[in-house]
Every structure is written in structure tokens, then in C-alpha cells.
Amino acid sequence: MPPLTDTLCLQCGLCCNGVLFADVRPEPGERSPLFAGRARVAQPCPAFQTGDCTCTIYAERPQRCRQFECRQLLGVAAGEIMVPQALRRIRQARKLAAKLESGLADLGFDNRKQPLKRRFEKCQRAAEQGGLAEAQYAALAELQLTMHQLTLLLAKEFYG
Ligand code: SF4
Ligand code: SF4
């Protein structure tokens, strides 16, 4: 049987693509080439391959990446969650994140090098400062609802 990381993580990538986390930070004595002297690396992680959800430096990934296991991964490993159920939750979270990505891009916040939540906050701030066109406020209201749904789902089903 393939390892669970193959079954789940290769369909997911939420802990690397800027949805669950805003950055990766080194542990003391960290040797991963990801950092190359940097105190942190912003997500989406530059080592993350969106197409197949793989890590280009997997064998040398940072300690924190090795240590993090989301609730779905832990739940399936413990026999408390069935694989199809975990995959459904992953698909659901990815769908909400994709909806947000696309909605934010439509509103002009399309810097995909920034973590999703940061882009969303920038959009909110712009709206508070009157920086959106009148017609865009309805789209933002829809995005706020989507962000709320995603935040609840991540808190309940993914953070360790
Ligand atoms: S969030 Fe969980 S299932 Fe998704 S890639 Fe990370 S550890 Fe794997
Ligand atoms: S180094 Fe690899 S495992 Fe760690 S966040 Fe980046 S892509 Fe993910």
C-alpha cells in the first residue's frame, strides 16, 4: 500500500501552498537548503510544485515540514477517518481556496506569491478605505462568506 502522504498529500498541498500557513521558519540548527540564510520563507513555498503537489526538495525539506501532520493525515493513520472522507475534505478545502483565489484575482488582488489570507486581508483593507468600485462590494461580500467557510473548515479539520 502506498504511504498515506502519497494518498492524501499529493492530492492536497494545503500546508505548502499558502492556504494553511503564511511562511516556513527554520528550527535551530536547520540545514534545509530552503532557507539559504533566510530567517523565513514565505508561502506559497518556492519548492512547492502546484501541478502534482510535490516538493522539489523533499529529501531535504525543513524540520517543520517533516513534523507537521494535519488532522486528516493523523485521523486516517489512527483509523478514525476513512481515506475517501479525508479526500472529500481536502477537495472541499481546495475548492473553497480556489474560489477565493479566483475571486480575489477578479478584484485585482492576484499576487499569487502571497499567502491567501494576506491577499484577502489586503482586499479587505482596500475595501475599508473605499478602494473598490461600488459594484465590487457584492463580490467581496461573497468572498467574505467563502473565507469564513474555509477558516472554519481548516480550523476543524486540518490544523494540528
Ligand atoms: S494539509 Fe495534510 S493532507 Fe494536505 S499536504 Fe499537508 S499534511 Fe498532507
Ligand atoms: S519545503 Fe517542501 S514540504 Fe516544506 S513547505 Fe516547501 S514544498 Fe512544502
Residue 7 parent element (H or E): helix 4-8
User: Residues 127, 137: contact at Cβ < 8 Å?
Assistant: yes
Report whether residue 9 contacts ligand 2, using a CB cutoff of 6 Å.
no
Q: Which atom of ligand 2 is nearest to the CA of 49?
A: 7
Q: Which atom of ligand 2 is nearest to the CA of 45?
A: 6
Q: What is the DSSP string of 20-32?
A: S-SEE-PPTT---
Rounded to 10°, the helix 116-128/83-106 angle is 40
Residue 93: the pLDDT is 98
C-alpha to C-alpha distances, 130 to 127, 133, 144, nearest whole angstrom: 5, 8, 16
Q: What distance in angstroms lies between residue 142's CA and the mean position of ligand 2's atoms?
A: 31
Q: Is 90 exposed, middle or buried (0-12, 13-18, 19+ CB in 10 A)?
A: buried
How many other C-beta atoms can be found within 10 angstroms of the C-beta atom of residue 11? 14
Nearest CA to ligand 2 atom 8: 16
Q: pLDDT per position in the chain (160 positions), as tens?
A: 789 999 999 999 999 999 999 999 999 999 999 999 899 999 999 999 999 999 999 999 999 999 999 999 999 999 999 999 999 999 999 999 999 999 999 999 999 999 999 999 999 999 999 999 988 999 999 999 999 999 999 999 999 7
Residue 1: the pLDDT is 75
User: Residues 155, 96: contact at Cβ < 8 Å?
Assistant: no
Probe target for ligand 1 pocket from 5, 11, 12, 55, with the most ligand atoms within 8 Å of CB: 12
Residue 2: the pLDDT is 83
Tens digit of pLDDT for each residue in 85-108? Answer: 999 999 999 999 999 999 999 999
Nearest CA to ligand 2 atom 5: 16
Reported residue count of the chain is 160
Report whether residue 15 contacts ligand 1, using a CB cutoff of 6 Å.
yes
Q: What distance in angstroms lies between residue 16's CA and the mean position of ligand 1's atoms?
A: 8
pTM across the whole model: 0.95
